[in-house]
A = this chain, B = another copy of it.
Amino acid sequence: MNKTRRDFVKNSAILGATLSTFGVSAVFGASDKNGGFDPKNANVKCKGWAAFDSSGVFKPWEFERRPVGDDDILIDIKYASICHSDIHTIKGDWGEQIYPQIPGHEIVGLVSQVGKNVKNFKVGDRVGVGCMVDNKNIALLQKDATTGGLGEQYSNDTIFTYGFSDKRESTGITQGGYSDKIVINAHFAVHIPQNLDFKLAAPLLCAGVTTFSPLMKYKIKKGDKVGVSGIGGLGHMAVKLAVKMGAEVTAFTTSESKKADILSWGAKEVVVVSEPSRDLARFKGVLDYHISTIPVQFDVAPYVSSVKPFGTFTLVGMGENFSITQSNLALSASRVNFTSSLIGDMKETQDVINFCADNKIYPNVEIINASDITNAYKKVQNKEARYRYVIDSASI
């Protein structure tokens, strides 16, 4: 079965057939169009570490990527970090997958080849790649005609970085960053400034922008009381970013052992949560804003209710099947605006890179070899990551 995550979304009984109409739903493999991509060059031979099934075991794999087209750049990957989304995808939590598959959408490297139409990048540039690598109607996209101003991630024509049907790829799907090279449309690359270490830049491409985008959209400002729940890769960036924006940050974590770290990042308070309805009770109606990065299904009510009436709660963590069940009675009692946010657009991606470089905001990372990926997946799921595993591509 040629099923991708997006196919799943389209076909899921839970979601109904609605997403195909309402965004985040492109099924790329269904298209026969070449969309202006230049196939004249040869495929690019690559190495990577792939999952061959849903078990979470990674092994070396040689494969080919699509040729470098006129609008594309080829990148020599230096580092790629492990996002919980990678794990959800490979496990099949978001739908049946095609294997072998290489995840990874927090990628940094050096440009090694540019297509003839590419203007913003040259060979040798330091670049980053996040969750998106191309778009079927890039001309329309660049006129902002296809997303209603919401950003590339909401275009039905956007191609996501891995596991996404793409007939130009010999493997049938896009392959991600646990690899030595990647071919992407240059629109989806950002510049990494010289003063930002590659190792520290990688996690910004998803964890950074996914938390930065809603913090900016909801205009977090000095003195705002901001809650961050789930202090992993995304959450630890949310704490650091919100602190830098001047917010009074309360972090909610299930890991007592993270407390000292979180306080060192400038959080005002850390609440170690074991029983949410009890442990969050004293925050009822207290916070101006709350962002949850919790990457599994959970009872949102106590978290939502921590926000002041008519304030906003944003869910960026995506659990199994993207499904969220809540009580509309509890939601009505909180009077909170319940919102969800998906990564960020390319401008926001460049913005968060620059914001972090300028303000010396860095993720906490642990550098690993490709042979450690399998073990790292287990550690992330056991909440042992502190806070992002970054794969050194030299080890691939």
Contacts and interface: CB of A to CB of B under 8 A. Distances in A.
A199 to B, nearest CB: 29
Interface string A133-166: 0000000000000001110001000000000000
Interface stretch (A119-127, A236-244, A328-336): A328-336
B336 A331 contact: no
A264 interface: no
A221 B338 CA distance: 23
A312 to B, nearest CB: 7
A148 B276 contact: no
Contact of A22 (B150, B324, B325, B334): B334
A327 interface: yes
A354 interface: no
9 contacts: A15-B329, A16-B277, A19-B329, A19-B333, A21-B277, A21-B278, A22-B330, A322-B330, A331-B338
B150 A301 contact: no
A323 B301 CA distance: 12
Residue picked from A277, A327, A336, most chain B C-beta under 10 Å = A327
B324 A18 contact: no
Given A19-B333, A23-B334, A276-B18, A328 B340 contact: yes
Interface residues of A, number: 56
Contacts of A148: 285, 309
Stoichiometry (number of copies): 2
Interface string A5-25: 000010000111111111111
A322 B328 contact: yes
A324 B322 contact: no
A318 interface: yes
Given A18-B330, A148-B285, A322-B328, 13 more contacts: A9-B327, A16-B302, A21-B302, A148-B309, A150-B309, A318-B329, A319-B328, A324-B326, A332-B340, A335-B341, A337-B337, A337-B338, A338-B338
Contacts of A17: 277
A150 to B, nearest CB: 6
Interface of A: 9, 14-25, 148-150, 154, 217, 276-278, 281, 284-285, 299, 301-302, 305, 309-310, 312, 315, 318-319, 321-342
A292 to B, nearest CB: 10
Contacts of A284: 21-23
Contact of A325 (B318, B323, B329, B340): B323
Nearest to A280: B21
Given A322-B329, A324-B326, A326-B324, A305 B339 contact: no
A226 to B, nearest CB: 18
Nearest to A342: B332
A275 to B, nearest CB: 8
Contact of A305 (B18, B276, B327, B340): B18
A243 to B, nearest CB: 24
B322 A18 contact: no
A336 B342 CA distance: 12
A192 to B, nearest CB: 26
Nearest to A292: B328
B276 A333 contact: no
A33 B323 CA distance: 43
Closest 10 CB pairs of A and B: A23-B333, A337-B337, A332-B340, A22-B305, A331-B340, A332-B342, A322-B329, A18-B301, A18-B277, A328-B340
